[in-house]
Amino acid sequence: MAAEAAVPALPNGGAGAPSGTVPVLFCFSVFARPSSVPHGAGYELLIQKFLSLYGDQLDMHRKFVVQLFAEEWGQYVDLPKGFAVSERCKVRLVPLQIQLTTLGNLTPSSTVFFCCDMQERFRPAIKYFGDIISVGQRLLQGARILGIPVIVTEQYPKGLGSTVQEIDLTGVKLVLPKTKFSMVLPEVEAALAEIPGVRSVVLFGVETHVCIQQTALELVGRGIEVHIVADATSSRSMMDRMFALELMKRK
């Protein structure tokens, strides 16, 4: 368990505390499932509940930390030392680290391809755009052969155009417009929740240091392993591309 966070914990109960069970929302990756635990349940019981809810989706090669949603901060914090459930709360299980031996192992049944903003208006501005289109075509062909779901986004298509014609979108799961950098839109989260056991995302498109980077960071934060296809992603500047790939490599 992580070190104690410097935030107030929920009350631990005591004399006069209600008996019975307490409702708890258990979150993992893009999933959130309501359940309940006995009043006064601590870390071990929370872990057992996560295992009962998500055991078939947890990678036992990983280490995890339990975090509590702190209303006063508006975000998750590491579970305070000695925490005991005394009132309705929301907790999540977050991968702490990944063993190097698991990296690179992709299974079609637990993988989704993300194609990010491969649009016509970017053609003259993005370095080696023709090359990344060619690689992107092969990736989507492979996804169709293997039955891997594909999610495609288009950044403000009214102004920047649709996905280039060379990219065949036949059979893709979703094509969504967006006006934010990350591909992790509510519709994308809902689509991932419909695919049981999603573990890995293969990500490619433009621009490496903006939409690709933000998407990767959000997915990693949700416990999903991200694989960037380096020769299928680019930016206006090769320096931006290089630094973005270096940053993501460290995450």
Q: What is the pLDDT of residues 148-175, one digit of tens each?
A: 999 999 999 999 999 999 999 999 999 9
Under a CB-based contact definition with an 8 Å cutoff, are residues 56 and 197 in contact? yes
Name the nearest CA neighbour of 74 among 159, 136, 7, 128: 7
- Identify whether residues 81 and 122 lie together within a single domain: no
Helices (H), strands (E): how many in the chain? 6, 10
- Whether residue 1 is predicted with pLDDT greater than 80 in this model: the reply is no
- Identify whether residues 25 and 125 lie together within a single domain: no
Q: Which of 56, 116, 178, 249 is catalytic?
A: 178
User: Which pLDDT does position 234 carry in this prediction?
Assistant: 96
Phi, psi of 238 (to 5 degrees): -70, -25
Active site residue 178: yes
Please report which confidence band the pLDDT of residue 41 belongs to, taking 50, 70 and 90 as the band edges.
very high
List the structure tokens of 12.
Answer: 């631990």
Full residue range of the structural domain in which residue 76 is found: 21-95
Q: Which of 27, 89, 115, 117 is catalytic?
A: 117
- Whether residue 13 is predicted with pLDDT greater than 70 in this model: the reply is no
Active site residue 211: yes
Which residue do the tokens 């295992």 mark? Answer: 51
- Identify whether residues 112 and 232 lie together within a single domain: yes
Helix/strand/coil for 162: coil
Kindly give the residue spans of alpha helices, DSSP state H, lying in 15-60.
43-54
Name the nearest CA neighbour of 242 among 202, 208, 204, 203: 208
- Identify whether residues 86 and 112 lie together within a single domain: no
Q: Which of 168, 211, 240, 251 is catalytic?
A: 211
- Identify whether residues 85 and 113 lie together within a single domain: no
Reported as a single tens digit per residue, the pLDDT across 182-223 is 999 999 999 998 888 899 999 999 999 999 999 999 999 888
Q: What is the pTM of this model?
A: 0.61
- Identify whether residues 36 and 115 lie together within a single domain: no
Please report which confidence band the pLDDT of residue 17 belongs to, taking 50, 70 and 90 as the band edges.
very low
96: number of Cβ within 10 Å: 10
Active site residue 117: yes
Lowest mean pLDDT among 92-96, 134-138, 208-212: 92-96
